[in-house]
């Protein structure tokens, strides 16, 4: 007699990166290069509408780059592990995200999800009441900018220490070097600005950066908000959104977040094949981002009289 399946069979299955997966990720990098080049070309135009469109494209490209960086964190882009840092570091530079620091913190998030030790690199607290005030603060998280400046200063002075546990000396060295790279990037921008290049810096980085802050927040928001944050069961404490091909590409599979947390080293392009089981067994699954943000709006309305 054949035993009837009573639970998910594929969601938690681990796999390795194939040559085909490498080609898919390389294709995503090529699309990103085209997006950035298009954004730069348009942002430097004199026509206001074209320049504005260029700024929006660059903001979207910088946001998308961090989602590609996220895949590199998990070493699920290439068969050669060393390539992940070489590619991951530059992907985070426009939004001032240090790859190795993000990696250490993010892997801890995976390890401690559903426990009091959980703390993501992008620090929106999903346990707090969801109000309009908390959403606005999350979209324009100036505390992260302050933390980046503090970490850059400490790395320049060689006094930086990891404050959330123990890390290997090799990881600490990598983090310090990457924050020093960010310092050089900022100094280069400041030098160009001081030499009279205010307008290109404003169009190519400052304005896209400001716009990318809320955009990136909205990409990350669905992951665990309004889920069972006291549970360690990924089928209860995480959310997936079916989404379209376009949204799945833009967030680099971040919509398939249950699938990702269940087996975090699976290449992002292979998560879709697990979504059927997630729809069957998971608690928090929405069809579209419109449906999800409708749930958020309802919760914000319910909490409208709460304090900030």
More confident residue, 118 or 106: 106
Residues 184 and 234 in one domain: no
122 pLDDT above the threshold of 80: no
pLDDT of residue 307: 58
Give me the percent of the chain exceeding a pLDDT of 90: 86
Residue written as token pair 């979504």: 275
- 1 pLDDT tier (thresholds 50, 70, 90): very low
pLDDT of residue 4: 43
- Provide the domain count of the chain: 2
Domain assignment present for residue 11? The answer is no
pLDDT, tens digit, 9 for 90 and up, residues 280-289: 999 999 999 9
Give me the percent of the chain exceeding a pLDDT of 70: 97
Domain that includes residue 238, residue range: 224-303
Classify each residue of 193-228 as buried b or exposed e, where b means 16 or more C-beta atoms within 10 Å of its C-beta. Answer: beeeeeeebebbbebbbebbbbbbbbbbbbbbbbbe
- Rounded to an integer, the average pLDDT of 142-169 is 94
- Picking from 201, 219, 237, the residue at the C-terminal end of a domain is 219
Residues 255 and 232 in one domain: yes
Of the candidates 95, 43, 102, 42, the one whose C-alpha atom is nearest the C-alpha of residue 65 is 95
pLDDT, tens digit, 9 for 90 and up, residues 23-42: 999 999 999 999 999 999 99
Residues 202 and 264 in one domain: no
Q: What is the DSSP string of the chain?
A: -PPPP-S-SSTT------HHHHHHHHHHHHHHHHHHHHHHHHHT-SSHHHHHHHHHHHHHHHHHHHHHHHHHHTT-S-SSTHHHHHHHHHHHGGGT--HHHHHHHHHHHHHHTTSTT---SS---TTS---HHHHHHHHT-HHHHHHHHHHHHHHHTT----SSS---HHHHHHHHHHHHHHHHHHHHHHHHHHTT-HHHHIIIIIHHHHHHHHHHHHHHGGGTTTS-TT---HHHH-EEE---HHHHHHTTTTTBHHHHHHSTTS-GGGSGGGHHHHHHH-SEEES-HHHHHHHHHHHHHHTTTS--
- Picking from 219, 246, 262, the residue at the C-terminal end of a domain is 219
Domain assignment present for residue 3? The answer is no
268 pLDDT above the threshold of 50: yes
- 128 pLDDT tier (thresholds 50, 70, 90): confident
pLDDT of residue 306: 72
Tokens of 5: 């399946």
2 pLDDT above the threshold of 80: no
- Picking from 219, 235, 268, the residue at the C-terminal end of a domain is 219
Task: Flag the least confident range among 19-23, 74-78, 237-241, 304-308.
Answer: 304-308
């Amino acid at each position: 007699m054949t035993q009837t399946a009573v639970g998910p069979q594929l969601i938690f299955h681990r796999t390795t990166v194939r040559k085909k997966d490498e080609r898919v990720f390389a294709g995503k990098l090529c699309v990103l290069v085209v997006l950035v080049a298009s954004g730069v070309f348009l942002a430097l135009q004199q026509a206001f509408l074209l320049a504005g469109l260029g700024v929006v494209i660059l903001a979207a490209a910088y946001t998308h780059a961090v989602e590609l960086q996220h895949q590199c964190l998990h070493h699920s882009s290439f068969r050669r592990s060393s390539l992940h840092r070489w590619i991951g570091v530059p992907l985070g530079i426009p939004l001032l995200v240090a790859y190795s620091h993000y990696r250490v913190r993010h892997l801890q998030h995976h390890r401690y999800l559903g426990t009091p030790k959980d703390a993501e690199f992008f620090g929106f607290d999903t346990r707090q009441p969801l109000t309009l005030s908390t959403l606005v603060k999350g979209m324009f998280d100036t505390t992260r900018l302050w933390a980046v400046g503090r970490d850059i200063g400490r790395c320049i002075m060689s006094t930086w220490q990891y404050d959330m546990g123990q890390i290997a000396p090799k990881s600490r060295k990598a983090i310090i070097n990457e924050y020093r790279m960010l310092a050089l990037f900022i100094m280069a921008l400041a030098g160009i600005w001081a030499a009279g290049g205010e307008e290109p810096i404003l169009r190519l980085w400052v304005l896209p950066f400001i716009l990318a802050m809320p955009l990136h927040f909205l990409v990350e928001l669905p992951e665990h908000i309004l889920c069972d944050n006291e549970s360690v069961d990924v089928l209860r404490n995480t959310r997936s959104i079916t989404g379209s091909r376009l949204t799945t590409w833009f967030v680099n599979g971040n919509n398939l977040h249950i699938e990702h947390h269940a087996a975090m080293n699976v290449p992002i392009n292979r998560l879709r094949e697990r979504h059927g089981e997630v729809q069957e067994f998971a608690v928090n699954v929405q069809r579209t981002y419109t449906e999800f943000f409708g749930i958020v709006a309802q919760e914000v309305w319910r909490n409208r009289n709460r304090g900030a």
